[in-house]
Amino acid sequence: MTDDVPLSPADDSGAPPLFSDVSRRNVLRGAAGGAFALGAAGVLSACGGGLKGTSSPGAGSSAGNGRKKITIGFITPLTGPVASFAVSDQFVIDTIRKTQKFSGGITSGAKTYDVEIVVKDSQSDPNRATQVARELISQNNVDMILVTSTPEVTNPVATVCEAQAVPCVSTIVPWEAWYFGRGAKPGSEFQYTTMFFFGIGEFGECFIPMWNRISNDKTVALMYPNDVDGNAFRKAFPPLMQKAGYKTVDGGAYTDGTTDYSAMIATFKSAGADIYSNAPIPPDFNTFWKQAFQQGYRPKLATVAKVLLFPSDVEALGPLAENVATDAWWTPHHPFSSSLDGTTSKGIADAFQKATGKQWLQSIGTSYALFEVAHNAFSSVDDPHDRKAVAAALRGMKYTGICGQLDFTAGPVPGVAIIKPVGVQWKKGKDFPYSLEVVDNSANKAVPLTADLKPTRA
């Protein structure tokens, strides 16, 4: 197994122009991360990049104990501009491997199969994501690919899997960006690719109730880039805002990596926009937010998407991040448990903090749930190497686990399961510099409030 194959010269995700992937020149490349694999039977020989793992002999091959093997590929942005999404993924893989339902093998039909997990770093780059998906299929002969964190990663992987008839599950991507961003038309259905997360409607259910409690002017500043997420938000979110009685002022479809936002900030100030909405890559928000503070744009409530989701992002901004609101799809306060071993959300978050010394982050829940979904699908078919049957099991799946109930049959489109988010704000913390607190549960009443909603900048 190698991590040194040259990147393909162009993104072949097949997305239409409205939802085109971020171009390679606009996505800042991170340091090479080195792919690694983790087998359920233990960590074996090194395969490059300084990380230990096992090289998969291919789906259906025999493990050392003579049993057949299921191979799962996991693609995540370990490096690059959205690497903060993947901070907990090593812990999740280690935790999954230790559960009896993975360490003891998955029973499919009348046989039990050992499980191998091969992890690849997308480097936050669409072209790299395409490349490693192809490697997993052609070299590792995976039975399923799991992929997480932003359409720059999920969409090219899902596109490759659909074309190669390999079951794939995506998460942490708005469903509109995943579905329409890959060229789907209303009523159409992908056969091999599914996903769970939420979409623009759920952002509205999460953010607008918070706006209603803070805003007087009812004008929303829109900072949406010219990328997959930005264009999805620009198309679908303003109609929901307008229906709720809000005016919008669009700062323009800027290019990822922009360093001067003075003109946009002046536009927002001139409009008197007391609510701020965005969907940028994290480095761009940090630049914008610092410039906004310096130039005197101080909205009453900032509700951000795709950024300030994780402690590392918040620490980079320091006090400027306090009382910025965002969405949370999973927290230790969520009253859900693992379908693999019954561990509660709080139990998993506490285990992460104890094992790493780092603060919990919400991507723990979705990365963990990917493997719950995979286990559920493989254990429900007679042959885990029958990709058509496994894909059908994914599209027809309903189960309850660490992220609550996931129903892939309910829509809004076939093969998509919705998680209901809650509104959260970053507050000064006790054990860590800042704490993510639930301040609005309008969209998900099952999750308790843990703090009061406050203006971002009074």
* Backbone phi, psi, residue 366, to 5°: -75, -40
- Residue 40 included in any domain: yes
**What pLDDT digit, counting tens, does each position of 139-179 carry?**
999 999 999 998 999 999 999 999 999 999 999 999 998 99
**What pLDDT digit, counting tens, does each position of 283-319 carry?**
899 999 999 999 999 999 999 998 898 898 898 899 9
Given a contact cutoff of 8 angstroms between Cβ atoms, the answer to whether 56 and 116 are in contact is yes
Asked whether residue 287 falls in the same domain as residue 353, the answer is no
User: Does residue 239 have a pLDDT over 60?
Assistant: yes
What pLDDT, on the 0 to 100 scale, is given for residue 376?
A: 98
Asked whether residue 47 falls in the same domain as residue 184, the answer is yes
**What pLDDT digit, counting tens, does each position of 5-43 carry?**
222 223 333 333 333 333 333 333 332 232 323 333 332
Q: How many CA atoms lie within 13 A of 60 on its CB side?
A: 5
Q: Which of 326, 410, 19, 24 shows the shortest CA–CA distance to 178?
A: 19
- Residue 382 included in any domain: yes
**What pLDDT digit, counting tens, does each position of 94-140 carry?**
999 999 999 999 999 999 999 999 999 999 999 999 999 999 999 99
Quote the domain boundaries for residue 261.
200-327+422-440
Q: Which of 202, 141, 134, 142 shows the shortest CA–CA distance to 173?
A: 202
- Residue 257 included in any domain: yes
Asked whether residue 58 falls in the same domain as residue 117, the answer is yes
- pLDDT category at 229 given cuts 50, 70, 90 is confident
- Residue 4 included in any domain: no
Asked whether residue 279 falls in the same domain as residue 427, the answer is yes
Given a contact cutoff of 8 angstroms between Cβ atoms, the answer to whether 92 and 137 are in contact is no
Q: Which of 55, 14, 236, 234 shows the shortest CA–CA distance to 141?
A: 55
- Residue 372 included in any domain: yes
Look-up: residue for tokens 């480097």? 123
Cα 253 from Cα 234, distance rounded (Å): 9
Asked whether residue 219 falls in the same domain as residue 189, the answer is no
Asked whether residue 163 falls in the same domain as residue 269, the answer is no
pTM of the model: 0.83
The mean pLDDT of the chain is 86
Asked whether residue 237 falls in the same domain as residue 90, the answer is no
Determine what percent of the chain is predicted with pLDDT higher than 90. 75
What pLDDT, on the 0 to 100 scale, is given for residue 65?
A: 53
- pLDDT category at 215 given cuts 50, 70, 90 is confident
Given a contact cutoff of 8 angstroms between Cβ atoms, the answer to whether 10 and 22 are in contact is no
Q: How many domains does the chain have?
A: 2
> Quick one: CA torsion of 118, 121, 125, 131, rounded to 10 degrees?
-40
Strands (E), 225-375: 247-250, 275-278, 301-304, 325-328
- Residue 450 included in any domain: no
- Residue 348 included in any domain: yes
Instruction: Please list, in sequence order, all residues whose beta carbon lies within 8 angstroms of the beta carbon of residue 435, skipping any fewer than 6 positions away.
Output: 426, 427, 428, 429
Asked whether residue 190 falls in the same domain as residue 74, the answer is yes
Asked whether residue 47 falls in the same domain as residue 155, the answer is yes
What pLDDT, on the 0 to 100 scale, is given for residue 91?
A: 97
Task: Burial-class residue 426 by CB neighbours within 10 Å (0-12, 13-18, 19+).
Answer: buried
Look-up: residue for tokens 């291919």? 58
Given a contact cutoff of 8 angstroms between Cβ atoms, the answer to whether 153 and 129 are in contact is yes
CATH of the domain at 128: 3.40.50.2300
Rg value, the chain, Cα = 21
Asked whether residue 212 falls in the same domain as residue 194, the answer is no
- Residue 449 included in any domain: no
Cα 435 from Cα 426, distance rounded (Å): 6
Asked whether residue 146 falls in the same domain as residue 163, the answer is yes
What pLDDT, on the 0 to 100 scale, is given for residue 61?
A: 52
What pLDDT, on the 0 to 100 scale, is given for residue 178?
A: 94
Asked whether residue 207 falls in the same domain as residue 165, the answer is no
Look-up: residue for tokens 């002017």? 217
What pLDDT, on the 0 to 100 scale, is given for residue 66?
A: 55
Given a contact cutoff of 8 angstroms between Cβ atoms, the answer to whether 377 and 369 are in contact is no
